[in-house]
Structure 1
Amino acid sequence: MAGLNAQALVEKQLTAATQIIERQLDAEINRLDNLESDDLDAIRRERLAAMKERQKKKQDWINNGHGDYSELSDEKEFFETTKKSENVVCHFYRDQFVRCKIADKHLEILAKKHIETKFCKINAEKAPFLTERLSIRVLPTLCLVKNGKTKDYIVGFTDLGNTDEFSTDTLEWRIGRADVLEYHGDLMCPPTLGSSGGQKMDVHQKKTIRGGRNGDSDDSDSDY
């Protein structure tokens, strides 16, 4: 009997919630149906202004080298890049590490897809100050920067399923969780696992560029 009562209560709550949603939809439809011409003109002007602003931003991004996966020559260029671009993904690499080449392949694709973000890489051997300050001990490491501050790190492939066979979509999702690119999927679930799956995140401690970071990836990645 208790089970039946609980089921009836759940059904009652679902019915009430459905009715609330229907009333909200009806109210929104009614509002749209009764918009005055001045209101419609205002909406059009707002949308046009937003489109113009977006186009201006795109041109600024292109002028700053967005859309290409570029190599930074030195640490000075790293700091200049993080000042010019709101969103930056910088790959610290070494030529002889196979996993760095795997990361390159995915970052090339994402650079073209997400023009709002600057994708770049820097040879860790040419950036001793940065590798020390950021406590980079494992390569590849992706440094995720927003508004000149390091928001997060992707160290090795641990956060990407701990496999060399991760998809570009998975890397896109992981960067999106740091809000360093515009991600339009479900941030609560990695795309490779589907809507019913889940994955334990291994998000490393976040520090600013000045403060550095403690903690390394697992031993399956290459020590610097």
Structure 2
Amino acid sequence: MAGIEKMMENHLLQATQAIEDQLDNEINKLDRMDQDEMEQLREKRLQALKKQAAQKEEWIAQGHGKYFEVPDEKAFFDECKKSKNVVCHFYRDSTFRCKIVDKHLEILAAKHIETKFIKIDAEKCKFLVERLRIVVIPTICLAKDGKTVDYVVGFDDLGGTDEFSTEVLEWRIARADVINYSGDLLHPPGSEDRKKGRSVLGMDRKKNLRGRNDDDDMSDDDDDW
């Protein structure tokens, strides 16, 4: 046991030293820069910040940064044409789990301004529901470049419980590459699988803890809108 602890301590020291060496190299590189090089670096960073600000303004103009409802199919298609990444919640007023989804998506919309977050009443868009083969409510459609790339159907992928966290839904959406995410895509936040180092890329679609029939049935391959 003592040998293992010593080995872990040595690994930690080596990792810390590597980080310190990298920082020292960056500092030395800055120290060696002359005034012109410093100005070029400053200008480059300024241009990058300006580009980021312009992109943010464009996203906001397209309706990003908020979670809102589209009234019909035409509005749905119009909104999707404007944005590269779209998260759309197909809901029904009589399904209480849709209110749970609303709460989480409202938070994520404000956090992930790079993506548009919308919702649409499934009972008012029968053609779209058939086109996307949506049979369970709630369903979250994840789209990229005008094509559906994934669906979050019910709560099966979110732990099979109504009490899933916003972070877990964020992680699940991120696996479709429609939001910017810096976390571990292999393991959901706080999962035992992460602690044990097991991958969940082939995550089983377990039944809802209260039974699959708890999700409303409205009656997936990629769909091009």
Query: Structure 1: any 5+ residue segments left out of the alignment?
Result: 1-6, 205-215
Mark the CA change 1:110 to 1:219 in structure 2 (over 3 Å): closer, same or farther: same
1:90-120 CA deviation, whole Å, 9 max, x = no partner?
Answer: 0001110111111011111111222221111
TM-aligned CA deviation for residue 52 of structure 1: 0.8
Equivalent residue pairs, number: 204
How does the TM-score come out when normalised to structure 2? 0.77
What SS is found at the alignment partner of 2:102?
A: helix
Structure 1 residue 127 and structure 2 residue 121: aligned? no
Matches within 5 A, 1:166-205: 166-193=164-191, 195-197=194-196, 198=198, 200-201=200-201
TM-aligned CA deviation for residue 177 of structure 1: 1.5
Q: Which amino acid aligns with 1:196?
A: K
Q: Which amino acid aligns with 1:148?
A: G
Q: Which amino acid aligns with 2:94?
A: Q
Q: Alignment identity in percent?
A: 56
Counterpart Cα distance in 2 of 1:108 and 1:189: 23
Alpha carbons 1:153, 1:203 under 8 Å: kept? no
Structure 1 residue 221 and structure 2 residue 219: aligned? no
Alpha carbons 1:143, 1:150 under 8 Å: kept? yes
Structure 1 residue 142 and structure 2 residue 136: aligned? no
Mark the CA change 1:202 to 1:108 in structure 2 (over 3 Å): closer, same or farther: farther
Mark the CA change 1:83 to 1:186 in structure 2 (over 3 Å): closer, same or farther: same
Query: Structure 2: any 5+ residue segments left out of the alignment?
Result: 219-225
TM-aligned CA deviation for residue 26 of structure 1: 6.0
TM-aligned CA deviation for residue 183 of structure 1: 1.5
Alpha carbons 1:158, 1:202 under 8 Å: kept? no
Tell me the equivalent position of 1:107: 105
TM-aligned CA deviation for residue 175 of structure 1: 1.0
Mark the CA change 1:117 to 1:19 in structure 2 (over 3 Å): closer, same or farther: closer
Q: Which amino acid aligns with 2:155?
A: F
Counterpart Cα distance in 1 of 2:101 and 2:202: 18
Structure 1 residue 66 and structure 2 residue 64: aligned? yes
Counterpart Cα distance in 1 of 2:213 and 2:32: 63
Alpha carbons 2:139, 2:151 under 8 Å: kept? yes
Of residues 187-196 and 146-155 in structure 1, the stretch that sits farther from structure 2 once superposed is: 187-196
TM-aligned CA deviation for residue 35 of structure 1: 2.7
Mark the CA change 1:143 to 1:203 in structure 2 (over 3 Å): closer, same or farther: farther
Matches within 5 A, 1:59-98: 59-98=57-96
How does the TM-score come out when normalised to structure 1? 0.78
Counterpart Cα distance in 2 of 1:161 and 1:201: 14
Mark the CA change 1:84 to 1:17 in structure 2 (over 3 Å): closer, same or farther: same
Q: Which amino acid aligns with 1:72?
A: V
Counterpart Cα distance in 1 of 2:214 and 2:177: 27
Mark the CA change 1:201 to 1:93 in structure 2 (over 3 Å): closer, same or farther: farther
Alpha carbons 2:91, 2:138 under 8 Å: kept? yes
